[in-house]
Amino acid sequence: MPRKWQTVLKHVKPQGQARPRAVSVNGKARVFKPKKDLGMEALIQVLVVDRDPPKFDGPIKLTLDFVLKRPKSVPVKKRKYPTVKPDLSNMIKLVEDACNGILYDDDKQIVNLVSTKRYGGDDEISIKVEKVN
């Protein structure tokens, strides 16, 4: 089994995972994920599976790099870093959940997490998984 695997999902606009929604149906509470989240998770899953990744067992290190296309209205002098929504923690959670069952059995295997959110030329998400000894 390989010790590490990585890929870059080009032209995929990073988005944060929204909070679960709850509705009452016949007096029972039903909780569900918003359709936007399900669509993004499905897109990430398809793109990752298409790259034929190994499935890691045991503890892993996950490195995520979220690149947001800089809006033309925001010059570098005005804002060097993307301190706007989506927030980094919600973007991480969306990718972690999307990769469950594909790159690893469950995101509880992640014992080391490195992530960045920055401006770049075009939207993309970089994913790197490494086995931890």
Q: What are phi and psi of 83, to 5 degrees?
A: -90, 40
CA 58 to chain CA centroid, Å, is 20
Quote the pLDDT of residue 124. 97
DSSP 33: -
- In this structure, the strands spanning 124-131 and 4-10 are antiparallel
Hunting for tokens 């995101």 — which residue is that? 107
Quote the pLDDT of residue 44. 96
Quote the pLDDT of residue 9. 97
From the list 1, 117, 13, the residue with the least C-alpha distance to 63 is 117
Residues of the chain with pLDDT under 50: none
CA torsion sign, 103 to 69 to 42 to 48? negative
Quote the pLDDT of residue 1. 66
pTM beyond 0.85: the answer is: yes
Cα separations in angstroms, 44 against 27, 34, 88, 120, 128: 35, 16, 17, 20, 14
Q: Domain ranges in the chain?
A: 4-131
Classify domain 4-131 by CATH architecture: 2-Layer Sandwich (3.30)
3-state secondary structure of 49: helix
3-state secondary structure of 65: strand
